[in-house]
Amino acid sequence: MTSTARRTSALALTVALTAALGALTPVGTAHAATGPGALILGGGAIADTNSAVYSTFVTKSGGSAARIGIITAASVVPADDPNAGDPATCSNSVCNGTYYGNLLKNSYGAADAQWIPIDLDHIGNNASQSVLNQINSMTGFFFGGGDQSRLVTTLMKSDNSDSPALAAIRAKFAAGAAVMGTSAGTAITNGRDMVTGGESWDALRYGPHTTISDSYPDDLSYRPEGGFNFFTSGLIDTHFAARGREGRITRLAAATGHTRAFGVDEDTALVVTNPGTANESDAVVGTNGVSILDLRSDTVGTHSGYWSVDGVKWTYLTNGDTYNPATWTATSTKPAYAPTSGTVGSRWSDVFSSPNSPTDHSYQMVKMARELVGAGRSTTQYGISYESGPTFEADLAKGTGYKAWKSGSTISFANLTTHLYVY
């Protein structure tokens, strides 16, 4: 979140909350729908100016008639935000709710956008009739970033069933209301085996765990019960290529029996139409891309005593590209790209964009893939992890089903075969 939109006073916050619980206008006929609403799954760090993402969400929520409920329960509460008193730098559930409300109304033309007053300080509001009335008046819902465990705590019961508020949101979604998430707000839309943390090297080295370790915070963790189960076409991860999460989601998918996983990059969204139906279609909007990992033909084993996987097919789609989950196929309007000259350079380093590296290697695996795609005379390329003990290697190959597209400097590709093992 940028600081420019957090221009609100304590009085304004109080007014916003009062309005949220006050008189509510009914849903207009502009949003009459009989099937599931669209999902706009943002990878995090969505720029205020990213109209491709935000305008899509507002349009799917009813356009100029859109009434959007904002859920920022993944954020810390004001008491835990050291900048709570500064509207320019605060980042907590209340000021973030105001921020997104202003953004969606003032910049993207929603008729209304209101904070849904549920957070760790107001868990009981998930059964409040006034909050349920508020939810039932909405045509779209926005889930902000933070920590998805807070969304579990505030919107789900201890037996993993829906709170009344989540049940109301689910019913609205089933009837056509759009749902957008960013970062944790996207992760929570997943079904079983929702990822909750970890880094790629640690995931490859130690495997997945169902609890988050204070002693080993970089271990791969996940919640077997999952999140809200709005998105069911595969596992989903966020901040994907920027933080080198290719290794962690591959390890989790392989360990939990998932044959497909999606990784959404920052400032980018996967727009899912008819989610969960036979007619589901997915489209990429934004500045970076979405990775789709196909594990139907993977081979899991060991190499030098450590976990390994081969045969994972990696597809990377960019703005305007589409994907059909039913047929496992990607489509692009960009021209086909099959250069006949050029070779790859030497091996790449820090392919999992380690947070421990003193050098920023964001999008390192994608950069390596683009080099291979652009090298017509080369069929393989590889890189290694920053961490050692052991050092993991990622091999990419132009195998069966591989193809690529290019428009300007933007490259998309399908079915690069990936092999992860000890170097």
Burial grade of 365 (CB within 10 A; 0-12, 13-18, 19 or more): buried
Q: Does the structure show a pLDDT above 50 at 14?
A: no
262-287: b (≥16 Cβ within 10 Å) or e = bbbbbbbbbbbbebbeeebbbbbbbb
pLDDT in tens, 363-407: 999 999 999 999 999 999 999 999 999 999 999 999 999 999 999
Query: Can you give the pLDDT at residue 267?
Result: 98
Q: Is 121 a catalytic residue?
A: no
Hunting for tokens 């279609």 — which residue is that? 281
Three-state secondary structure along 191-237?
Answer: CCCEEEECCHHHHHHHCEECCCCCCCCCCEEEECCCCCCCECCCEEE
pLDDT in tens, 297-339: 999 999 999 999 999 999 999 999 999 999 999 999 999 999 9
Measure the CA angle with vertex 161, ends 157 and 164; round to 5°. 75
Q: Identify the weakest region by mean pLDDT among 4-8, 84-88, 152-156.
A: 4-8
Q: Is 239 a catalytic residue?
A: yes
Instruction: For residue 325, say if its preceding peptide bond is cis, omega within 30 degrees of 0.
Output: no
Measure the CA angle with vertex 266, ends 227 and 110; round to 5°. 75
39 phi/psi in degrees, rounded to 5: -110, 130
Give the pairing of strands 39-42 and 112-115: unpaired
User: pLDDT exceeding 90 applies to what percent of the chain?
Assistant: 92
Q: Does the structure show a pLDDT above 60 at 20?
A: no
Q: Catalytic residue, from 31, 239, 361, 419: name it.
A: 239
Q: Catalytic residue, from 119, 121, 147, 202: name it.
A: 202
Q: Does the structure show a pLDDT above 90 at 71?
A: yes
Query: Can you give the pLDDT at residue 34?
Result: 63
Query: Can you give the pLDDT at residue 35?
Result: 82
The closest alpha carbon to 115, from 162, 72, 83, 85, belongs to: 72
Q: Identify the weakest region by mean pLDDT among 32-36, 287-291, 393-397.
A: 32-36
Q: Does the structure show a pLDDT above 90 at 38?
A: yes
Mean pLDDT of 218-236: 98
208 Cβ neighbours under 8 A, 6+ residues apart:
198, 220, 221, 222, 251, 252, 255, 256
CB count in 10 Å sphere of residue 388:
10
CB count in 10 Å sphere of residue 136:
16
Q: Identify the weakest region by mean pLDDT among 33-37, 217-221, 222-226.
A: 33-37
pLDDT in tens, 341-364: 999 999 999 999 999 999 999 999
Q: Is 183 a catalytic residue?
A: yes
Q: Catalytic residue, from 91, 163, 183, 385: name it.
A: 183
Q: Does the structure show a pLDDT above 90 at 129?
A: yes
Q: How confident is the model at residue 10 (pLDDT cuts 50, 70, 90)?
A: very low
Q: What percentage of the chain's residues is helix, strand, coil (to nearest 5)? A: 25, 30, 45
pLDDT in tens, 187-196: 999 999 999 9
Q: How confident is the model at residue 33 (pLDDT cuts 50, 70, 90)?
A: low
